[in-house]
Structure 1
Amino acid sequence: MKIKATLERIPGGMMVVPLLLAATINTVAPDLLRIGGFTQALFVDSANALIALFLLCTGAQINVKTFGVSLAKGATLLTTKWIVGAIFGLLAFMFAGDNGLWMGLAPIAVIAAMTNSNGGLFVALVGQYGNKDDRAAYSLLALNDGPFLTMVALSIFGMMGFVNGMFSMVSFIAVLLPIIIGMILGNLDEEMRSFLDKGSYMLIPFFAFSLGMGINFSAIITGGIGGVVLGFMTVFITGTAGYFVFKSLKWNPIVGAAEGSTAGNAVATPAAIATASASFSSVVDIATVQVAASTVTTSILLPLYIAFLVKRLERKGTTFNHGEPARRAG
């Protein structure tokens, strides 16, 4: 039975299939794998640990002489995602009706969902379609976790003042440290670099499954059509913007598109914003469910969109071999 070959024939299959399988299990029988012990530790609670190990393995492949390229890619991703999300958030505020909503969407939900990205999803997609510099770009993307960049956008728009405590340097360093440790190990010992390289690809289906165990399809129903629309906007607008920005810079455009998602931590952003400014309290409930729906929608839709983009590039002659895109000869 050729399981690996079958998964590899499906665009993004090493990530998409485990994630959707786990999401289905979590929706239909959420307690099936939550039985404690090694089973729950591996299949339910392992995402953060496995992603951290993936980042360490990735860091080991980085040559200190080229680390600047990874930082440039990370900064470009972060800036593109924030600018696009902030622009649509501003439009939502400008054209919101008397009920404080724009086409049924809460403006703070638009900013929270579109400026934030799912780091685990990005790591999984780039692990399959990006090179070592692309994977290390994640080192900067932790900055869009939580309400910090939403707060920055709202402050620029004059909607509220900046509030201390919305960004944690310790949390940022905690994300960066595995990459740095891996980079030190890889640059000190070539054999260690080769040893850790094996983990970069192998870990993807395992942490993808664990990520899927955090997805419940019922969130799409709860968030209503507005949350689904917000998810589509996040994937097709921010993802496409990242695609073309990276393409214009002669970088792998799939990596740019891989930022088109909303992370689960963004669900708490509307409440955090409302706590800092009571003027948002009237829309905090609807904003929360819309962001939650966007999180689930993008988790399902983005891998499919990436698969479409990969197929499109392959038809034009680009091949993807374990994360290294190249033009076909002839």
Structure 2
Amino acid sequence: MRMKATLDRIPGGMMVVPLLIAATINTIAPNLLRIGNFTEALFVNGASTLIALFLFCAGAQINLRNVGVSLGKGATLLTVKWIVGAGVGLLAYAVAGTQGLFLGLAPIAIIAAMTNSNGGLYVALVGQYGKSDDKAAYSILALNDGPFLTMIALSIFGAMGFVDGLFSITSFISVLLPIVIGMVIGNLDSEMEAFFTKGSDMLIPFFAFALGMNIDFQAILKGGLSGVLLGVATVLLTGTAGYLVFKMFKWNPVVGASEGSTAGNAVATPAVIAAASPAFATNVDLATVQVAASVVTTAILLPLFIGFLVKRLERKGKKAETDFL
């Protein structure tokens, strides 16, 4: 049985197949693997640890002379993602109906979903199609975790004042540190670099499965068609924007598109903002389920979108992994 060959034929298969299998298990029988000890630690709760180890291995592959490239790519993606999300959110506020909705969507849900990205999904996709400096760019992208950038957007709109304490520099350092340690070790010893390079790809299906064990397909039903629409828009608008900007800089455009997702922690953003400003309390429940639906929709759709882009590049005679170095 040639499982690897089959997975390799599926766009992003080494990541998307384990993720979808786990999400199906979590939706139908959520307690099947939640039996404690090693099983639950690896297959349910292991995503953060496995991603941290993946980033450590990625850091070991970074040459110190290329650190600036990683920072540049991360900052570019972070900026593009925020501009698109904030811009669409501003448009939604401007044309919202009497109930404060745009196409059935709460503007706060749009901003929360589009300015926040699924780091695990990005790492998995870039692990297959990108280079070491693309993986290391995640250290900057971690800045869009949580409500921080959503609050900045709303503050700029004049919708609410800036609220302190929504982003911790400690959180940023905690993401960056595994990459830095790996980078130091890899640059001190080329044999250690080669050793850790072998382990990075093996981790992808494991943390993808653990990510899937935190996805419930019922979120799509609760969020309704509007939530699915938000997920589709997040992939197409923010993913395409990242693709085009990276292409303009002659970087691998597939990596740019890999930021077109919504992170699971974005589900809490509407409630956090409503707590900071009661003006948003009216649609907080609707916004929460819409963001949840976007999380699931982007987790399924983005790998398929990336696969489409890769095939498109191949038809033009380019390979996503090698022709944008």
Q: TM-score range by the shorter chain?
A: over 0.9
Alignment partner, residue 325 of structure 1: 322
- The AA in structure 1 aligned to 2:277 is S
SS in 1 for 2:323: strand
Distance 1:164 1:40 in 2: 36
Distance 1:140 1:199 in 2: 23
Q: CA deviation at 1:319?
A: 2.5
Percent sequence identity is 73
Q: CA deviation at 1:199?
A: 1.5
For residues 29-71 of structure 1, the C-alpha deviation after alignment (integer angstroms, 9 at most, x for no partner) is 1111111121111111110000000000000011111100000
Alignment partner, residue 45 of structure 2: 45
Distance 1:199 1:45 in 2: 20
Alignment partner, residue 217 of structure 1: 217
- Describe how 1:78-227 pairs up with structure 2 within 5 A: 78-227=78-227
- The AA in structure 2 aligned to 1:78 is L
Distance 1:282 1:128 in 2: 42
Q: Which runs of 4+ in 1 moved over 2 A?
A: 324-327
SS in 2 for 1:135: helix
Distance 2:95 2:10 in 1: 42
TM-score, normalization by structure 2: 0.98
Distance 1:129 1:169 in 2: 30
For residues 17-37 of structure 1, the C-alpha deviation after alignment (integer angstroms, 9 at most, x for no partner) is 111111111111111111112
Higher deviation after alignment, 112-121 or 35-44: 35-44
Question: Could you list the runs of 5+ residues in structure 1 that have no partner in the other structure?
Answer: none
- The AA in structure 2 aligned to 1:33 is L
Question: Could you list the runs of 5+ residues in structure 2 that have no partner in the other structure?
Answer: none
Alignment partner, residue 19 of structure 2: 19
For residues 94-142 of structure 1, the C-alpha deviation after alignment (integer angstroms, 9 at most, x for no partner) is 0111111111100110000000000000000000000111111101001
Alignment partner, residue 29 of structure 2: 29
Q: CA deviation at 1:9?
A: 1.3
- The AA in structure 1 aligned to 2:182 is G
Aligned alpha-carbon RMSD (Å):
0.9
Distance 2:101 2:76 in 1: 30
- The AA in structure 1 aligned to 2:111 is I
Distance 1:314 1:132 in 2: 22
TM-score, normalization by structure 1: 0.97
SS in 1 for 2:216: coil
Q: CA deviation at 1:326?
A: 3.1
Higher deviation after alignment, 299-308 or 2-11: 2-11
Distance 1:269 1:223 in 2: 15
Distance 1:190 1:223 in 2: 50
For residues 145-185 of structure 1, the C-alpha deviation after alignment (integer angstroms, 9 at most, x for no partner) is 00000000000000000000011111111011100010111
Alignment partner, residue 248 of structure 2: 248
What is the aligned length?
A: 324
Distance 1:39 1:278 in 2: 42
Given that 2:252 and 2:323 are in contact with CA atoms closer than 8 Å, whether structure 1 keeps it comes out as no
